[in-house]
Structure 1
Amino acid sequence: MAKNSSSSTIVPDTAWLGRGRHLGPEPEQDVRRNLTALKAAGVLDDFLDLDPVEAARSTVLHPRDEAADPGPSARRLFEARWRVADGVTVRAQLTTYDSESRRKEDEGVTWVLAAEAERKWDPGWPSPATMLWPDSDQSAWDHDTVPGVRLRAANHLPKDDDELRHRLKDCSRTSWYIHVVVHEAMTPDVRGQQPVSAFLPPSLRHRVVEHRGTPEQAQIADFALKRDLDVRLPRGGAVVLPTEPRRPEYDAECFTVRSVFLDGSEPTELLGVIQAFAALPRPLPDDAERALTRLRRGWHLLTPDEELVHARSMVVKYAEALDAMTKSCDLYREAAESAHAALAEVTGGDAVPRPPVPGPVRAGGSPLNALTKAFGRLRDPNK
């Protein structure tokens, strides 16, 4: 899998970012139904369902801004706006993408979701993932871009040693999510098989992917993590994987839990470690930076107040453009008069056709052509 290059920019503390794959047949229909239901229930203020090409052409905040173009492989663009605690407004933009890999390997439809609030993001707020996607196991939207990994499940590590190593490396290097590896000291019952991420606050829940190692995978999982990522997995414990490139704030000991009881009870220590990791500064991947820029510069779902501000700004822009055109006409007129005076001086006052004032241009004719003909008569003694 190709590396997901990162910039030196840090993810803003106002933003929520996610990327994944929908393996079902109608991803956009899942989004439409969920948005419609949430708006009818009063959860959403409003939403938009846009064709990407038309959306790029009609970007209202920064017209013709390339950063607002979702790209040629975009299938659909959705925008939603809602309010959280204290009336803070959240804006979110979800784009679905098609690719050659979907047709060749049936890898599903890739999606990118960027959300931003008017102040620092609170993990207790509703998850943007389930404000756009339905919060139901019937919809397969929650697959990571790393194959074989889901958000809302306890993902068992592959049995094959090489495949296990590759998966953990890919998750650390290319995924946008927080990855936690938990080792089962013994095979848990039904309650213990539930993902521990279910105990996390709503907005953090869909930013965490949980991996499970079976009792017999203790050695191989620990060896793979030590060799490739320089972290250790305690038997019956857990570790939060670092991102690549590794941030200086990451200390493997601080993000390792020695014992996790998988009996359905709340794993308080592990949850605290995950939340501490989530609070660290995170590098902003290039794709995520483009998604966040598109959210800010390519926003269409305006409130009435924002529409009024936008209309006023457009009036100012049109006035400036009209003023520039008027000045251009005045400059042209002055240049034409100067040229006429120069011609009169050269010809000793003989009549010289005056260049026309800017106006409607006839087919095949222009002010420049008239001046060219006048100079031609000066060079031709017979005229």
Structure 2
Amino acid sequence: MAKNSTSSTTVPDTAWLGRGRHLGPEPERDVRRNLIALKAAGVLDDFLDLDPVEAARSTVLHPRDEAADPGPTARRLFEARWRVADDITVRAQLTTYEPESRRKGDEGVGWILAAEAEHAWDVHWPSPATMFWPDSDQIPWDRDAVANLRLRTPNHLPKDDDELRHLLRECSRQSWFVHVVVHEAMTPDVRGQRPVSEWLPPSLRHRVVEHRGTPEQAQIADFAMKRELNVRMPRGGAVVLPTTPPGSWYDADRYTVRTVFLDGSEPAELLDRIREFAALPQPLPADAEQALTRLRRGWHLLTPQEELVHAQAMVAQYAEALDAMTTSRDLYKEAAEAAHAALAEASGGPGAAILPGPRPVKPEASPLSSLTKAFGRLRGPNK
């Protein structure tokens, strides 16, 4: 996958985006099993399992579109379609990637997930992550691509000041997820070790990375966060971290919670701040913009109605092209005849030199041949 950078646009309110790592031996097998099970249960309308090279070549909506190419390190591409709420259709693509390098920290198989609904996304809808990945702690798919942080369990902050600052810098600049730091006023018991994400709505649950600072890390965490991100870490409280550069709407005081009781009770104020932060316009990373473009322009899993509409659009498109070719031929013929007449009149008789007429159209360039080739592109594994 290409290195991440931030574009000037924001994430559309219809989209759900995620990027992470799977640390297990056979990630594609885990995806296939989950897709098969969910389709059998009626959760999914349908899904496809595609080789990325062939998928790019056989793109239905935009043939030979470079935007549909997931890149040379792509291993596999999966598409799934399901419905939520009042028959709102959601389309999603999951692409798995080879690690960028073999150095420590890059182990595992990378993945990018882009989902888009027909209407604005509702956080109470099912998480797209669990449509592809099993919602089980036994399957290690839930690692952020940044520093291998877990999505579904608290991650303890590094004790070294330099490591901590480096981590905060990476998370704010490169991660696609919402990052929350919680400071433990005292070491919590088992109930207090529950991740905050357990109380979040389904579609937000897999978009949050939770960091935990131990009681003795209050000062070091506060100093590092103040220096790197210009936010403070309240003792026994929490803060939702900004992105870098921070949006104009980000207010450090607004997204700082002074007290969080880690006793197993629901941290209502912190949850409200996370939901509020996630609902605001977020910068769209360049890699995420490319994934969203591939989803929109490189989609294969059409419904029968969509196939019909697409075929009708193709017929109309090539009919227009054929009409333009015919009109152009007629105009050329008229111009040639007018030139012959003018030359004959100017030379004083019919014995004038004859101008060449229009050249015959080669058989391979005929409108019928073009139309046949166009319909050939409609053939695919699901046609």
TM-score interval for Structure 1 and Structure 2 normalised by the shorter chain: 0.7 to 0.9
Unmatched segments (≥5 aa) in structure 2: 364-383
Provide the C-alpha distance between the structure 2 equivalents of 1:141 and 1:102, rounded to a whole number of angstroms.
Answer: 18
Provide the C-alpha distance between the structure 1 equivalents of 2:105 and 2:240, rounded to a whole number of angstroms.
Answer: 31
Greater Cα radius of gyration, structure 1 or 2: 1
Deviation string 1:102-150 (CA, Å, 9 cap, x unpaired) is: 5886522221111111111111110001111111112211111111311
Matched residue type, 1:311: A
Provide the C-alpha distance between the structure 2 equivalents of 1:300 and 1:11, rounded to a whole number of angstroms.
Answer: 23
Provide the C-alpha distance between the structure 2 equivalents of 1:353 and 1:277, rounded to a whole number of angstroms.
Answer: 74
Matched residue type, 2:310: H
With over 3 angstroms needed to count, the CA separation of the structure-2 counterparts of 1:103 and 1:232, relative to structure 1, is closer
Deviation at 1:67, TM superposition (A): 2.2
Matched residue type, 1:219: Q
Aligned pairs for 1:112-261 (under 5 A) are 112-261=112-261
Counterpart of 2:367?
none
Contact 1:123/1:204 (8 A) holds in 2: yes
Provide the C-alpha distance between the structure 1 equivalents of 2:335 and 2:104, rounded to a whole number of angstroms.
Answer: 63
Percentage identity across paired residues of the two chains = 78
Deviation at 1:328, TM superposition (A): 4.5
Deviation at 1:65, TM superposition (A): 2.7
Q: Name the SS of the counterpart of 1:322 in structure 2.
A: helix
Contact 1:333/1:358 (8 A) holds in 2: no
Provide the C-alpha distance between the structure 1 equivalents of 2:163 and 2:132, rounded to a whole number of angstroms.
Answer: 33
Deviation string 1:6-51 (CA, Å, 9 cap, x unpaired) is: 2221211111111111122211111111111000000001111112
Deviation string 1:162-187 (CA, Å, 9 cap, x unpaired) is: 11111111101110110000111111
Instruction: Give the length in aligned residue pairs.
Output: 361
Provide the C-alpha distance between the structure 2 equivalents of 1:11 and 1:353, rounded to a whole number of angstroms.
Answer: 61
Matched residue type, 2:299: W
With over 3 angstroms needed to count, the CA separation of the structure-2 counterparts of 1:325 and 1:51, relative to structure 1, is farther
Matched residue type, 1:224: A
Counterpart of 1:297?
297
TM superposition score normalised by structure 2: 0.86
Relative to structure 2, which stretch is displaced further, 174-183 or 187-196? 187-196
Aligned pairs for 1:337-352 (under 5 A) are 349=351
Provide the C-alpha distance between the structure 2 equivalents of 1:67 and 1:339, rounded to a whole number of angstroms.
Answer: 47
Contact 1:150/1:209 (8 A) holds in 2: yes
Provide the C-alpha distance between the structure 2 equivalents of 1:105 and 1:280, rounded to a whole number of angstroms.
Answer: 31
Counterpart of 1:283?
283
Matched residue type, 2:213: G
Provide the C-alpha distance between the structure 2 equivalents of 1:112 and 1:100, rounded to a whole number of angstroms.
Answer: 14
Deviation at 1:332, TM superposition (A): 5.6
Counterpart of 1:376?
none
TM superposition score normalised by structure 1: 0.86
Provide the C-alpha distance between the structure 1 equivalents of 2:251 and 2:242, rounded to a whole number of angstroms.
Answer: 9
With over 3 angstroms needed to count, the CA separation of the structure-2 counterparts of 1:354 and 1:65, relative to structure 1, is closer
Provide the C-alpha distance between the structure 2 equivalents of 1:360 and 1:172, rounded to a whole number of angstroms.
Answer: 59
Deviation string 1:257-309 (CA, Å, 9 cap, x unpaired) is: 11112122211111111111112221111111121122122211111211111
Contact 2:21/2:148 (8 A) holds in 1: no
Relative to structure 2, which stretch is displaced further, 340-349 or 9-18? 340-349
Provide the C-alpha distance between the structure 2 equivalents of 1:298 and 1:268, rounded to a whole number of angstroms.
Answer: 41
Counterpart of 1:358?
360
Provide the C-alpha distance between the structure 1 equivalents of 2:168 and 2:325, rounded to a whole number of angstroms.
Answer: 61
